[in-house]
Structure 1
Amino acid sequence: MPIDAKQPYDGQNIFARILRGELPAKTVMESEHSLAFHDIQPLAPIHVLVIPKGEYVSWDDFTASASEAEICDFVRTIGEVARMTGADTQGYRILSNVGKRGGQEVPHLHVHVFGGQPLGPMLQR
């Protein structure tokens, strides 16, 4: 169910639990401020989630509150994941859903990296 990205951070969300080691994840890479791992229900041959290690609900929260180092690390991690997975060879899509109308389901900022097949139009009608 979509969440309200303006609510306070919920430390019991699935990504917070992954970061604390309470739930397993198949890690693609980890940096000082970010973690990338395979989605457990992939929608494309390449489907990796990239999350910041800090407690940020959404892009709005992250860009308003994160340090320059966290923002730089997160963006670079997304690019590195695309290269590491080979998504960059034929093209890929990065997607972050924000809030109820954006379809955000986990109250922790995350970016999907999709690739490995034609991805179709941006939005379905």
Structure 2
Amino acid sequence: MAAAMNSLYLLRGPICIRAFNFIKSINQTAQIQHNAFIRRPLQFRRVLSSIRATSDEELAASAAAANADSGAPTIFDKIISKEIPCSIVYEDESVLAFRDISPQAPVHVLIIPKQRDGLTQLGKAEKRHEVILGQLLHAAKIVAEKEGISDGFRIVINSGASACQSVYHLHLHVLGGRQMKWPPG
């Protein structure tokens, strides 16, 4: 344990503290040997990279939340208007589905309404949004069929900063192509 802790001093900032606390909690709860991470350097690097990724996602979500209701165009508005290119999987008059640029599964497609209409997050949905919400879910089924994952897929909707929503234009993530784990979060 001491050797692993000494190697952490080479790191800087909150990642160092999070890694230290993670290793400390693992050691206390799982009773692993003091040099487990030294003998498993790949596992240790994965822990550090997941801490860094989690931190980045949380920071992006916090920054996005500050401008959530500003009405400014989002990256998805720019994709809809074709200002930003994307790999379209499905499109109809109401929704657009395209591949995520940072996929978290072999199949990772985002589905968005073409008109935001105040629907920045699921937690702000109103009665008037019922039709588009249904269209988004139906589009998810069509995407799953087109991508060959209709036998098993996951739909994720992040709503708000605490859920790490980083774009305030309601969107669904369709994930599949591998065995999903539970619990997801």
Q: Mark the runs of 5 or more structure 1 residues left unpaired by the alignment.
A: none
In 2 relative to 1, CA 15–106 (structure 1 residues): closer, same or farther, beyond 3 Å? same
Distance 2:125 2:80 in 1: 17
Q: TM-score, normalised by structure 2?
A: 0.60
Structure 1 equivalent of residue 96 of structure 2: 35
1:13 aligns with 2:78: no
Distance 2:91 2:134 in 1: 14
Q: Give the superposed CA RMSD.
A: 2.1
1:114 aligns with 2:171: no
Q: How many residues align?
A: 122
Structure 2 equivalent of residue 66 of structure 1: 129
Percent of residue pairs bearing the same amino acid type: 33
In 2 relative to 1, CA 10–122 (structure 1 residues): closer, same or farther, beyond 3 Å? farther
Structure 1 equivalent of residue 111 of structure 2: 50
Cα deviation code 1:40-86 (max 9, x no counterpart)? 11111110000011112111334444262x23322211111111111
Structure 1 equivalent of residue 157 of structure 2: 96
Larger radius of gyration: 2
Residues 74 and 169 in structure 2, CA contact (< 8 A), matched pair in contact too: yes
Q: TM-score, normalised by structure 1?
A: 0.86
Greater length-normalized contact order (CA 8 Å, ≥ 6 residues apart): 1
Structure 1 equivalent of residue 144 of structure 2: 82
Instruction: Write 1 or 2 for the structure with the bigger share of strand.
Output: 1
Instruction: Write 1 or 2 for the structure with the bigger share of helix.
Output: 2
